[in-house]
């Protein structure tokens, strides 16, 4: 394990452009529940894909918001803090001058809180909502003021900026470009089960430039695509990695 970390630290030190694919594992380390684990939201909420769908929002917008807030525990979002993995990625950008592109499947905004600036939020963000008619944007604070948040201009029920089921993943073209043109493609805390983001490691592994590495607690079906595979807890791994990076 230590030898793999030393290899990864050496690659990070030399890399100019690092592309990071982050999944639920980096957020659960900060205490945020995930969807797909053994004790995840899928196991606790019936019909979760329907309750978080475009169809449910447009057909039953009031009930949608009640379910949405409960499922995402929206009133607790501000209490979650970035962990060592988020912080090191921000340090690579601000202290070591790396170009770091973060492609995240998470909607919690912890990469932004940590200070990273180039973030492709493939599944949107929990931090805001918008009016589908006038397109005005609203903060999480406004969303939390009432059970069913509305636009202050036209009183229309807001839509969250999270990509709902049946919605389109965002920034996909930029994500593929980053995966193919970086020096290091690093996957963190992702089971690589969700399409189309799960395809990014394949494209990175077929490109000429990037080394590829994955840090995830459990094996994935795509581990063979990576040059370096580390199965361990993210915060502990990144704490050790920080000490090795020069």
Where in the sequence numbering do the catalytic residues fall?
Answer: 123
| Residue 161: HSE in the Cβ half-sphere, 13 Å Cα cutoff | 21
- In angstroms, the Cα distances linking 14 to 115, 184, 210 are 22, 10, 12
Q: Is 185 helix (H, G, I), strand (E, B) or coil?
A: strand
Nearest to 110 by CA among 94, 93, 127: 127
In this structure, what are the phi and psi dihedrals at residue 186, rounded to the nearest 5 degrees? -120, 120
Please report which helix (H) or strand (E) contains residue 54, including its range: helix 54-59
Please answer whether residues 223 and 210 qualify as being in contact, where contact means their C-beta atoms are separated by less than 8 angstroms.
no
Q: Is 107 helix (H, G, I), strand (E, B) or coil?
A: coil
- In angstroms, the Cα distances linking 138 to 56, 75, 114, 134, 143 are 21, 16, 22, 12, 7
- In angstroms, the Cα distances linking 6 to 9, 92, 135, 191, 240 are 5, 16, 48, 24, 10
């Amino acid at each position: 394990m230590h030898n793999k970390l030393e290899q990864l630290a050496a690659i990070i030190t030399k890399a100019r452009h690092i592309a990071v694919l982050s999944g639920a594992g980096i957020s659960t380390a900060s205490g945020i529940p995930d969807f797909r684990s053994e004790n995840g939201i899928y196991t606790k909420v019936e019909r979760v894909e329907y309750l978080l769908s475009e169809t449910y929002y447009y057909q039953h917008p009031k009930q949608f918001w009640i379910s949405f807030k409960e499922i995402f525990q929206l009133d607790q979002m501000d209490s979650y803090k970035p962990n060592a993995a988020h912080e090191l990625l921000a340090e690579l950008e601000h202290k070591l001058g790396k170009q770091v592109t973060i492609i995240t499947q998470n909607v919690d905004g912890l990469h932004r809180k940590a200070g990273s600036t180039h973030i492709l939020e493939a599944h949107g963000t929990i931090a805001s909502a918008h009016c589908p008619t006038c397109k005005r944007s609203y903060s999480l604070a406004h969303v939390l003021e009432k059970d069913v948040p509305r636009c202050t201009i036209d009183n229309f029920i807001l839509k969250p900026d999270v990509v709902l089921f049946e919605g389109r993943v965002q920034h996909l073209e930029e994500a593929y470009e980053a995966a193919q043109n970086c020096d290091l493609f690093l996957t963190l805390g992702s089971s690589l089960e969700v399409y189309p983001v799960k395809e990014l490691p394949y494209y990175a592994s077929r490109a000429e430039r990037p080394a590829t590495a994955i840090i995830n607690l459990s094996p994935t079906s795509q581990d063979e695509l990576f040059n370096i595979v580390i199965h361990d807890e993210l915060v502990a791994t990144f704490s050790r990695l920080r000490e090795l990076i020069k």
